[in-house]
Amino acid sequence: MNTQTQLAERNTGTFACNGDAQAQKGPAIVPAVDIYEDAHGITLWADLPGVSRDRLNVHVQDGNLFIEGQASIDTPDGLRLHHAEIREPRFARAFSLSADFDISKIDANLSDGVLKLSIPRREEARPRRIEVSIG
Amino acid sequence: MSDLLFNTNLFDELDRFQRQMSSAFSGLPSSIRASRFSTFPQINLGSTDDSVEIVAFAPGIDPAKLELTVDKGLLTISGERTRVQSESEGRSYAQERFVGAFRRAIELPRDADPDKVKARYASGCLTISIGKREASRPRTIAIQ
Indicate the SS3 state at residue B25: helix
B chain contacts of residue A45, beta-carbon cutoff 8 Å? 60, 84-85, 97
CB-CB contact of A133 with A59 (8 Å): no
Residue in A3, A30, A39 nearest the CB of B16: A30
Domains of chain B: 31-83+98-136 (2.60.40.790)
A chain contacts of residue B129, beta-carbon cutoff 8 Å? 76
* Residue A30 predicted with pLDDT over 90: no
Q: Give B130-142 pLDDT, tens digit per residue.
A: 998 887 777 888 8
CATH topology assigned to domain A4-10+28-74+88-125: Immunoglobulin-like (2.60.40)
Residue in A1, A77, A114 nearest the CB of B59: A114
CB contact under 8 A, A4 and B89: no
The complex scores an ipTM of 0.71
The dihedrals phi and psi of A53, each to the nearest 5 degrees, come to: -60, -40
Residue in A12, A48, A78 nearest the CB of B26: A12
Q: Give B8-59 pLDDT, tens digit per residue.
A: 455 556 666 666 665 555 545 545 444 444 678 889 898 888 889 999 999 9
The dihedrals phi and psi of A67, each to the nearest 5 degrees, come to: -120, 120
Interface of A with B in 7-46 (CB under 8 A): 10, 12-13, 15, 30, 32-39, 43, 45
